Chains A and B, each alone.
Chain A
Amino acid sequence: MTAASVENGLRSSSTRRAAARARMLRSLLPALSLALVLMAIAWLNPRAISYFGFSLMLNLAIPIALATIAQMFVISGNELDLSIGTFVGFVGCVTATWLKDAPLLGVAVLAGSIGVYALLGALIHLRNLPSIVVTLGMSFVWQGLAILILPKPGGKAPDWLLSIMAFKPPLIPFPIIAALLIAAVVHFGLMRTSYGVILRGSGGNAAALERAGWSLLRTKIVLFALTGLFGVLSGMALIGITTSADANIGNGYTLLSIAGVILGGGEFVGGRVSPIGAVIGALTLALAASPLLTFMHIPPDWQVAANGAILIIVLAARVLISRRER
């Protein structure tokens, strides 16, 4: 890595300009893939590009975007959360039962679950554990708890949550406003504040950060707690849309959230993530998964494959661009 940066400094200005162009192209890639999917939808079914069409197509985009942001926080610390899907399901079950019937208990349980995430971060750091295995284990715990809370699909979302999610602003559909808001808030927090830099630095160069006097234990705890917080928001948003819960409701979110982060230009290591990209990635996946395929008359069997194919195509494009960046 250091050799590469020294080399960077010695480069002539023309190659540096070409590299800057490639980097720019690379950061535009998430937006380009979203635009491509939107254009395909517009071409196949022009009527879908309307207020009503977007509200319908992006219906589930808010919880997916929130789960993707949750995943992005752990990834920026070089970890991975394979339990986010079942955690969203657990939050959903709590939201549809306790949060409605006994709001105080519900709030306490949800706050406690964020605390559990913070503890996991501490555990993973202190014992130097592989986060993949720990969170895989935790995915069983969340699923088990969800089944204990809600053995059969059911429950009901609190009324205030239903009215928030049913909000119909003028001109721009609610999912788009919500996505913009989420992206802006997280972008400011993680990319523009000084502690955000420290958080990303814990994934970029942990040793340097530690020598500069920052607590790596604290950054890990904060990153995991933020993952828990956005996981809770995702579960609540999901129940606000579906109105009732099921213990398995969030299971698909683990893979979707990882795919969304990577689609949005995030890297697995090095603290290189992009909140705006992550939200765009989540929207692309939400649109490409069902509406696009339905318009193309592709059977639902191939929805999962479409996610995989999009991921591979975008990564291939990124490799082509990165080759020029070098």
Chain B
Amino acid sequence: MTSLRMLLTKPWIWSFLGALLVWLATIAFTGGYGGGGMITAALSLAVFTVIVGVGQMFVITLGPGNVDLSLPANIGLASAVAMKVMDGNDSMIAVGLLAALACGMAIGAANYLLIWALRIPPIIATLSASFIIQSIDISYGRGLQIKPPPGFADFANWQILGIPVLAMLTVLFTIGAAIALQRMIYGRSVLAIGQNIRAAWLAGVNVGRIRFFTYTLCGALGGIDGALLAGYFRGANVDIGNEYLLASIAVVVIGGTSVAGGKANVPGVWGAALFLVLLLTMLNTFGVSVGVRLVLTGLIIVGVITAAGGQKALR
């Protein structure tokens, strides 16, 4: 009983409960049909939200005002870069992934450079950067339906016993991220900066370096995510990352991370990502139209945040 009560005080438990509830509702609707397949599909789609969600979580944890709005553009460009470098050739997969990673890291570093050099709020810095990245992407990947190499597409869709391999790898990655956040100097520094940037600086935290590293990390995760998305959906395009702006911020907030910074929660990102994907699946199963689906998605996100509320604003 006490362990159950302990569990209920964890901020991430609610997102998992929400995901479970949505799943049960859908199963009840279909009469138990397709419950397993739904979990497989939800896991493979949630992966992409989790990867960028973790990056966004580190950035948001840096404190009020920190948010990366350039993720969608970043994902779009990295997906095009990865597919072009791979050029449909199985032997180039590793090089392509590295290229996407480098592209994402460069974008993250450029973001921080703007924040640091122009002393502007990260929202505006990442916004201006995303304008430019978007244009680069449009002119770079124009008119090309770039296909991934068959080996890479198979890897991105590979399942063992109904569990996507990518999801297993992402679980390992999130465990690593949780350790980095709670048990490593880097993560503790991020939390310290989010709680009080001046106190962290006085305590000897190299604020500039940690912030630079965090934005670069977020960019790198966006880049990898772009490459994986292009592999999973068998093609890169400019709009591939569009939905990940809302998704990355929403999973962080729904997952129990404080928008005011200084308090992060890695398991919650998984719960929230599964919740969002299952919600979409549920609405599709109910057969509602696109319009109704969008309205309900928006209302549920606003509702969940209102229920979770009680925290200070992003800026």
Contacts and interface: CB of A to CB of B under 8 A. Distances in A.
A242 B124 CA distance: 30
A303 B135 contact: yes
For A139, A144, A299, the residue with the greatest tally of chain B CB atoms inside 10 Å of its CB is: A144
Interface in A23-69: none
23 contacts: A127-B306, A128-B312, A130-B259, A132-B314, A132-B315, A137-B302, A139-B298, A142-B298, A148-B295, A268-B65, A268-B315, A269-B315, A301-B138, A303-B135, A304-B138, A308-B130, A309-B132, A311-B127, A312-B118, A315-B118, A315-B124, A319-B118, A319-B120
Contact of B123 (A142, A268, A312, A316): A268
A28 to B, nearest CB: 19
Interface string A141-156: 1111111100100000
Given A128-B309, A301-B139, A311-B128, A141 B114 contact: no
A302 B140 CA distance: 11
Nearest to B302: A137
Contacts of B295: 140-141, 144-145, 148
Contacts of B188: none
Given A151-B291, A301-B139, A136 B123 contact: no
Given A140-B301, A146-B291, 8 more contacts: A79-B315, A130-B312, A133-B250, A137-B250, A137-B298, A137-B305, A144-B297, A144-B298
A129 B301 CA distance: 12
B185 interface: no
Interface of A: 78-80, 123-124, 127-134, 136-148, 151, 255, 258-259, 262, 268-269, 299, 301-309, 311-312, 315-316, 319
Contact of B291 (A123, A139, A145, A309): A145
Interface string B115-141: 001111101100111111011101100
Contact of A134 (B132, B289, B302): B302
Nearest to A140: B298
A138 B138 CA distance: 28
B24 to A, nearest CB: 24
B290 interface: yes
B129 A308 contact: yes
A306 B130 CA distance: 12
B245 A136 contact: yes
A268 B314 contact: no
A260 to B, nearest CB: 12
Interface string B6-22: 00000000000000000
B132 A305 contact: yes
A136 B246 contact: yes
Contacts, number: 160
A133 B131 contact: no
A278 to B, nearest CB: 15
B134 A305 contact: yes
A268 B124 contact: yes
A262 B295 CA distance: 30
Interface of B: 65, 67, 114, 117-121, 123-124, 127-132, 134-136, 138-139, 142, 245-246, 249-250, 253, 259, 289-299, 301-302, 305-306, 309-315
Contacts of B123: 80, 268
Given A137-B299, A144-B291, A301-B138, A129 B127 contact: no
**A-B complex: 6 closest residue pairs judged by Cβ atoms:** A308-B131, A144-B294, A140-B298, A305-B135, A144-B295, A148-B291
A140 B131 contact: no
B249 A132 contact: yes
B307 to A, nearest CB: 9
Contact of A299 (B128, B136, B139, B292): B139
B118 A133 contact: no
B298 A133 contact: no
Contacts of B312: 128, 130
A255 B127 contact: yes
Contacts of A269: 65, 121, 315
B119 A319 contact: yes
Nearest to A123: B306
Given A80-B123, A80-B315, A127 B309 contact: yes
Contacts of B120: 315, 319
Contacts of A305: 131-132, 134-136
Given A123-B306, A303-B135, A315-B124, A79 B313 contact: yes
Given A130-B259, A305-B134, A311 B124 contact: yes
Given A268-B123, A308-B128, A132 B67 contact: yes
Nearest to B250: A133
A80 B227 CA distance: 31
B55 to A, nearest CB: 17
B117 to A, nearest CB: 8
Contact of A302 (B139, B259, B296): B139
A59 B50 CA distance: 43
Contact of A311 (B131, B249, B259, B311): B131
A133 B302 CA distance: 8
